[in-house]
Amino acid sequence: MNSKRILLSQSERPTAWYNLQADLPEPVPPPLHPGTKQPIGPADLEPIFAKRLIAQEVSQERWIEIPQAVQNAYAIWRPSPLVRATGLEQALKTPARIYFKDESHSPPGSHKPNTAVPQAYFNKIEGINRLTTETGAGQWGSALAFACALFDMECKVFMVKVSYQQKPYRRSMMRLWGSEVTASPSTETEAGRQLLALDPDSPGSLGMAISEAVEAAVTHEGTRYTLGSVLNHVMLHQSVIGLEAEKQFELAGDSPDVVIGCVGGGSNFAGLAFPFLRHKIAGKPIRFVACEPCSCPSMSRGQYRYDFGDTTKLTPLVKMFTLGHSFVPPGIHAGGLRYHGMAPMVSLGAKLGLIEAASFHQIECFEAAQIFAKTEGIIPAPETSHAIRGAIVEAIRCREENRQECIVFNFSGHGLCDLGSYDRFFSGELEDYAYPQEKIESALAELPEID
């Protein structure tokens, strides 16, 4: 009873991923071709993504088997612990029970390898030996570099130039796992050369790096592109988080009333939430809270519309909560949450009233991270601190209403490569950005008119 860490054995690891598409009351709207604005077919995506990943993207099957080779790789760090945050509960004097699912144990230190590993594997078995991608702060790039090392594949990462210069340690991790890392914009692609001609000192952006990574995939034999969040197949792979948590709650004799995660593109939140969301769809009263930065509030302040996934309008149009593809969020330290849109599946869940959004300023999140580090010991990534803030708000509500609810949040990653951000927090250099009302309004005005 009341054990601190609730652990599963290797044999209790899930053997199939859960696909929420089978249980959503409405289908996820299809992606549209950026030129014709008609639904795109699998063939349109085959130059970019592995066939099996495209099939998973549109699959309505409830359970999709996890291949043995992927399970063997998951065994390096999964099952991850479910931890009762007793220290945090005491500090908050809350009658609520707080748990967190600790995804910081993977070798790259976040939830991202849950999808990097299957993405590398499905490409490998289709004869693809080289993957490209973009990365901002380096979390996704390092997860893909790790996965490619496991399957003996080449990996090419375009890293946003300003992060390349400011965040050397994840760059080193990628090199250690054998990946090539290039600062973007670069002279290696047509897109990069054009961007450099316009501005030789460009600091780069995710939108620019996506353009380079996609070009580097479609113009090279045996190469495909990968994306670390947003897409349906990424949400599918991340479901291992919630499936494990379900079993762990059974062992603990408890079950969550509130499920919380931070959201950038939505994948770590979806990974924990979706297996529980199917019980809400079946009538169980569980709340789901997606936590985002006030400076990039796609769910709280965006519109549910068709929009491009990238700044340069290369990607298909997807229906999602968006602030507009031209919106450039302020430079908050939770770089992984600076995305203008939200996963179509999470967006649909919010539109249907199944998922709530909450938004927080960065200083209150760093404060929450410090409370967590002092009470539970683990140093959170700045992204993760948004989920911690969300859990603290719910726990304080429980104290004020004297309710003994069960709260669980996803601890998406550790902050050991983000200590520079904590230094800036301590020296008072961090600021809270006001909600960028005008910038969002002008970006929303540029959305394509569809529906």
Ligand X SMILES: *Cc1c(COP(=O)(O)O)cnc(C)c1O
**Cβ atoms of residues 335 and 204 within 8 Å:** no
Comparing CB distances to ligand X, the nearer of 81 and 192 is 81
Nearest approach, Cβ of residue 104 and ligand X (Å): 8
Neighbours of 18 (CB within 10 A): 24
Respond yes or no on whether the N-terminal peptide bond of residue 185 is cis (omega within 30° of 0).
yes
Nearest approach, Cβ of residue 389 and ligand X (Å): 13
Pairwise CA distance, residues 136 & 280, whole Å: 34
Q: Is 20 helix (H, G, I), strand (E, B) or coil?
A: helix
Nearest approach, Cβ of residue 199 and ligand X (Å): 27
Comparing CB distances to ligand X, the nearer of 192 and 204 is 204
Comparing CB distances to ligand X, the nearer of 204 and 341 is 341
**Cβ atoms of residues 72 and 248 within 8 Å:** no
Pairwise CA distance, residues 360 & 365, whole Å: 7
Nearest approach, Cβ of residue 201 and ligand X (Å): 27
Nearest approach, Cβ of residue 383 and ligand X (Å): 3
Residue nearest to ligand X (CB): 413
Comparing CB distances to ligand X, the nearer of 123 and 385 is 385
Comparing CB distances to ligand X, the nearer of 195 and 262 is 262
Exposed e or buried b for every residue in 133-171, given b needs 16+ CB within 10 A?
A: bbbbbbbbbbbbbbbbbbbebbbbbbbbbbbbeebeebb
Comparing CB distances to ligand X, the nearer of 124 and 171 is 171
Nearest approach, Cβ of residue 448 and ligand X (Å): 24
Nearest approach, Cβ of residue 103 and ligand X (Å): 8
Q: Is 436 helix (H, G, I), strand (E, B) or coil?
A: coil
Helix H or strand E segment including 157 = strand 154-160
Residue 16 DSSP class = E
The token pair that represents 330 in the structure block? 């302020």
Rg of the chain (C-alpha set): 20
Nearest approach, Cβ of residue 202 and ligand X (Å): 23
Comparing CB distances to ligand X, the nearer of 18 and 223 is 18
Comparing CB distances to ligand X, the nearer of 290 and 406 is 290
Per DSSP, the residues of 251-320 read HHT---SEEEEE-SSSHHHHHHHHHHHHHHHTT---EEEEEEETTS-HHHH-EEEEEESSTTS-SPEEEE
Give contact residues for ligand X (rule: CB under 6 A).
110, 112, 139, 229, 262-268, 336-337, 381, 383-384, 412-413
Residue 92 CB partners (closer than 8 Å, separation 6+): 392, 395, 396, 399
Helix axes 267-281, 240-252, angle to 10 degrees: 60
Pairwise CA distance, residues 234 & 341, whole Å: 15
Residue 11 DSSP class = G
Nearest approach, Cβ of residue 267 and ligand X (Å): 3
Comparing CB distances to ligand X, the nearer of 158 and 192 is 158
